[in-house]
Amino acid sequence: MHSHPEAADTLIVGAMLYDGTGAPPVERDVALRDGRIVAIGNLSNWLAEEVIEANGRALAPGFIDVHTHDDTHVIRSPQMLPKISQGVTTVVVGNCGISAAPVALKGDPPDPMNLLGAREAFAYPTFAAYVAAVNAAKPAVNVGALIGHTALRNNHLDNLKRAATRDEVAAMRAQLEEALANGALGLSTGLAYGSAYEASTEEVATLAEPLAAAGALYTTHMRTEFDAILDAMEEAYHIGKHARVPVVISHLKCAGPSNWGRSAEVLASLDGARKYQPVGCDCYPYSRSSSTLDLKQVTGDIDITITWSTPHPEQAGKLIKDIAAEWGVSQQEAGKRLQPAGAVYHNMSEDDVRRILSHPATMVGSDGLPNDPLPHPRLWGAFPRVLGHYARDEQLLPLEEAVRKMTGLSARRYGLAQRGEVHVGWHADLVLFDPAKVRDAATFDKPQQVAEGIDAVWVNGVLSYRDGQPTGERAGHFVARGPREASANTSANVAF
């Protein structure tokens, strides 16, 4: 029997293929050509310009970081080393109510929009302008985008400490519709922050109405993650039901010592809602959170590490209680003097993190803060930490399930068409890693460290990272919302 060799740009030979559906791995060869996966199977009769011997290492869809604040970073630092080095091939920006577009500032960006950069970083009055800037920057990863409710409030309200009027909501809605027409994935809120806290449920529900016709979704950093978390979840479900759209609860957690141990109750609420409407969540695999310094959380009952401070940059890396002692003032007073500032809050229990991470509706998202000079290590380590620490070392979940939570589940939820799973004809976003070696190296003390065991990363078929180094190729681009595909794996309830 004679067969003519088939030709590919790249042939990956002898991989254990984790296809992103949650199915157990199988040994396969995979061929890539012109940015697409063109064959999967025994491809020993194929020729390719480049052949990579996988030697039984894991090949998976490139990881999708559904929770990022990389809005301006993908333009300013398009090599995207913190993400490509983890095997991430697509980032979703615009989370927690803050997006770089569409934005017109009146002065300095209000908290927490300042997480995305200083005034000059906000140069995109329309979403179309942002899309053009992303593509012009040629980032190393693909970029999908949510539109932030707080960003829209900033554009139309003279004062963020109040609810929007009916006319203001209409003006915000017009901007949201422009973004949806240009491929935005959905609307995000950050209702816990002072800049959105006074927004009524009705304000958000009305603003969310155009999402359904566009096939978009609603994501929320809820009004609270502390004692009243169940009420905040009900508010999220209500908004999703009103707007008839899927809901993603951002970085689901039980925050604050009085709330520790309630993850079973919180997940029971999620499961209850999931009987009636599509609801899921994301989380990062750490028991400390990070954001701007919020004086409401400076209560003395948890440790808080300062990561940056505009008036006191020399205090970065210290605990606020030690700064307060050094200054001879209360922690509240120290917090006031440090503002504006960034912080890491030691505010979760490990048992809750594990229970939420292993729930089948939970995706992995880093919530990394790329502009922080002493960033929470999730920026560089979230994905390898799930694969290495939680799946391999702690046996919290099977590796194929960990992969599904960062690929297939994520792509289906966000409408990232033909990504997140390995199928012939789909985009060739792939990561080759060593399951025995993969490990997050980033720590709270030394957070800017590339992960170990991530051996090769392809973005749109282009080898972009290999053996601990970027190749210099940057093949990512803006990805518009596509049709939300039906699940291939009915047993795991992957659709939502």
Q: How far is the CB of 148 from Zn ion (least distance, A)?
A: 11
Nearer to Zn ion, 99 or 315 (CB): 99
Q: How far is the CB of 240 from Zn ion (least distance, A)?
A: 18
Does 116 help bind Zn ion (rule: CB under 5 A)?
A: no
Nearer to Zn ion, 28 or 253 (CB): 253
**Interacting span for Zn ion (CB under 5 A) from 90-98, 145-153, 194-202, 457-465:** 90-98
Chain mean position to CA 218: 14
Contact indicator for 82, 127 with CB cutoff of 8 Å: no
Does 344 help bind Zn ion (rule: CB under 5 A)?
A: no
Taking every pair of C-alpha atoms in the chain, what is the biggest distance, in angstroms?
Answer: 85
CA gap 72, 100 in Å, rounded? 7
Q: How far is the CB of 177 from Zn ion (least distance, A)?
A: 24
> Which amino acid is present at 58?
A
Q: How far is the CB of 372 from Zn ion (least distance, A)?
A: 14
**Residues in 212-241 that interact with Zn ion by CB under 5 A:** 221
Give backbone dihedrals phi and psi of 191, rounded to 5 degrees, phi first.
-70, -15
**Interacting span for Zn ion (CB under 5 A) from 89-97, 154-162, 292-300, 418-426:** 89-97
Q: How far is the CB of 270 from Zn ion (least distance, A)?
A: 17
Residue (of 63, 77, 139, 133) closest to 100 by Cα position = 133
Residue (of 14, 18, 22) closest to 41 by Cα position = 14
Nearer to Zn ion, 90 or 289 (CB): 289
For residue 163, with 0-12 CB atoms within 10 Å meaning exposed, 13-18 middle and 19 or more buried, which class applies? middle
- Give the count of residues interacting with Zn ion (CB under 5 A): 2
Does 96 help bind Zn ion (rule: CB under 5 A)?
A: yes
Which value, to the nearest 10 degrees, does the dihedral of the CA atoms of residues 22, 26, 27, 33 take? Answer: -50
Nearer to Zn ion, 146 or 456 (CB): 146
Nearer to Zn ion, 378 or 419 (CB): 378
Nearer to Zn ion, 221 or 262 (CB): 221
Nearer to Zn ion, 89 or 95 (CB): 95
Q: How far is the CB of 477 from Zn ion (least distance, A)?
A: 26
**Interacting span for Zn ion (CB under 5 A) from 6-14, 88-96, 114-122, 474-482:** 88-96
**Residues in 269-308 that interact with Zn ion by CB under 5 A:** none
CA gap 434, 447 in Å, rounded? 22
Contact indicator for 458, 12 with CB cutoff of 8 Å: no
Query: Any idea what DSSP says for residue 436?
Result: T
Q: Is the peptide bond before 112 cis (omega within 30 degrees of 0)?
A: yes
Q: How far is the CB of 69 from Zn ion (least distance, A)?
A: 8
Q: Are strands 6-17 and 26-33 parallel, antiparallel or unpaired?
A: antiparallel
Contact indicator for 365, 251 with CB cutoff of 8 Å: yes
Query: Any idea what DSSP says for residue 97?
Result: T
Nearer to Zn ion, 54 or 96 (CB): 96
**Interacting span for Zn ion (CB under 5 A) from 94-102, 158-166, 261-269, 308-316:** 94-102
71 strand-pairing partners: none
**Interacting span for Zn ion (CB under 5 A) from 95-103, 130-138, 225-233, 427-435:** 95-103
Nearer to Zn ion, 35 or 340 (CB): 340
Handedness of CA 231, 356, 61, 444 (dihedral sign): positive
| Interface ranges with Zn ion (CB under 5 A) | 96, 221
